Chain A
Amino acid sequence: MELLKGLTLLLLCQTAGELLSRAFALPLPGPVLGLLLMLVLLRWPLVRQPVEAAATPLLAHLSLLFVPVGVGVVAHLGLISQYGLRMLVVLVLSTWVGLLVTGLVLKAMWGRDDAAGEAEGEGAPA
């Protein structure tokens, strides 16, 4: 029951987000506005347990949700292959640049304020 309640709350937030996005022609997509609405909603203790019950399994299998889009990309690979190797070089290098810049900026700015940080595990490999 908690799971169903939680799923309903997630869908309600998404629907509200879609409505807001359309009604005011906002540049943000419905689910992202839904996320912001959910953050406000979570101030209310009553919704926390149901939301956790629905969010945990959904996020544990987030990978699965990208498979249909991924298959679509491979099905349309002809579109990319006309640009060949150049495209691959651009995609790989720019992704590495983004990962490294983000990681190194954080590393530099994280500082010694480790009151909140030390509890974070560092054992598992990423």
Chain B
Amino acid sequence: MTDFVNLWVYLSATPLFGLTATLTVYVLAATLSAWLQHPPWANPVLWSVLALALLLWSTGTAYPVYFSGAQFIHFLLGPAVVALAWPLWQRRAQLRARAPALLAAALLGGATASGSAVALGWALGLPLEVLASLAPKSVTAPVAMGIATQLGGIPALAAAFAVLTGLVGATTAKFLFDRAGVTRMAQRGFALGTAAHGIGAARALQVHPDAGAYAALALGLQVLLAALLLPPLARLF
């Protein structure tokens, strides 16, 4: 038993643990999701996160120890954002033809997502720095943290809101779209990228290439719009 404990202490202190655990859990969750034909509730991000959190908690592993391995995966987010240029480039003619509709939807969708979060939070009596952390919640987590800081919010809280927003969007969007009659894959994808950023876009890419490309565009537009518009808007209040 002590041998096992020693081995565990050794392994869990190396980056190998975080990296291997993340990949193993994700491959299992993704395989299960594919086997069930990708129902929204079987979202691989959601279940991987829950399983890994449980693993860290039950083994008493601190997050920084886990992250020393998981950072190699986390690092790829940057190049992946740059890679979104590829699906955009492939559909550039279609996107240019639809520019007015897409721009209007990105502006209105982003504004109502952010506005309704702040308004509801205010009505429910949440403190000011929480409201400032809610404003950029439909932008991908690293960007949301930067914007929240500028607005006087709490970066860690902003990242948490962004991730939770992405998970809520990715797991419930199908239900909403079916009821609202939003049937086109391109439209569904664009809405996911707008209101649920990267995690929504990942869901869209999993479902359909058109949904994925439009989600990629929406994700990029949200970052541009939020970074340019939110700080000057917040100064008005």
Which residues from chain A sit less than 8 Å from chain B, CB to CB? 7, 10-11, 13-14, 17, 27-32, 34-39, 42, 48, 51-52, 54-56, 58-60, 62-77, 79-80, 83, 86-87, 89-107, 109-111, 113, 115-117, 120-122, 124-126
With contact pairs A32-B220, A125-B174 given, residues A83 and B126 touching in the complex (Cβ less than 8 Å): yes
Contact B185 A121 (CB under 8 A): yes
Contact B174 A126 (CB under 8 A): yes
Contact B70 A28 (CB under 8 A): no
Give A6 to B22 CA distance when docked, in angstroms: 25
Which residues from chain B sit less than 8 Å from chain A, CB to CB? 18, 22-23, 25-26, 30, 38, 43-46, 48-50, 52-53, 56, 63, 66-67, 70-71, 73-74, 76-89, 93-94, 97-98, 100-102, 104-106, 108-110, 112-114, 116-117, 120-121, 124-126, 130, 134, 137-138, 141-143, 146, 154, 156-157, 159-161, 163-169, 172-174, 176-177, 180-192, 194-196, 198-199, 201-208, 210-212, 216, 218, 220, 223-224, 227-228, 231
Please give, as numbers and ranges, the residues of chain B lying within 8 Å of A29 by CB-CB distance: 142-143, 146, 223, 227
Report the minimal beta-carbon distance from A106 to chain B, rounded to whole angstroms. Answer: 4
Give A30 to B166 CA distance when docked, in angstroms: 21
Please give, as numbers and ranges, the residues of chain A lying within 8 Å of B165 by CB-CB distance: 91, 94-95
Contact A14 B82 (CB under 8 A): yes
Query: Can you name the residue of chain A whose Cβ is closest to the Cβ of B231?
Result: A27
Give A35 to B191 CA distance when docked, in angstroms: 20
Number of A-B contacts (CB under 8 A): 338
Contact B105 A66 (CB under 8 A): no
Which of B86, B112, B141, B202 touches A98 (beta carbons < 8 Å)? B112
Please give, as numbers and ranges, the residues of chain A lying within 8 Å of B67 by CB-CB distance: 68, 72
Contact A13 B159 (CB under 8 A): no
Contact A109 B196 (CB under 8 A): no
Please give, as numbers and ranges, the residues of chain B lying within 8 Å of A98 by CB-CB distance: 109-110, 112-114, 116, 138, 169, 191, 194-196
Please give, as numbers and ranges, the residues of chain A lying within 8 Å of B45 by CB-CB distance: 63, 66-67, 70
Contact A63 B74 (CB under 8 A): no
Contact A31 B82 (CB under 8 A): yes
With contact pairs A60-B205, A99-B173 given, residues A73 and B159 touching in the complex (Cβ less than 8 Å): yes
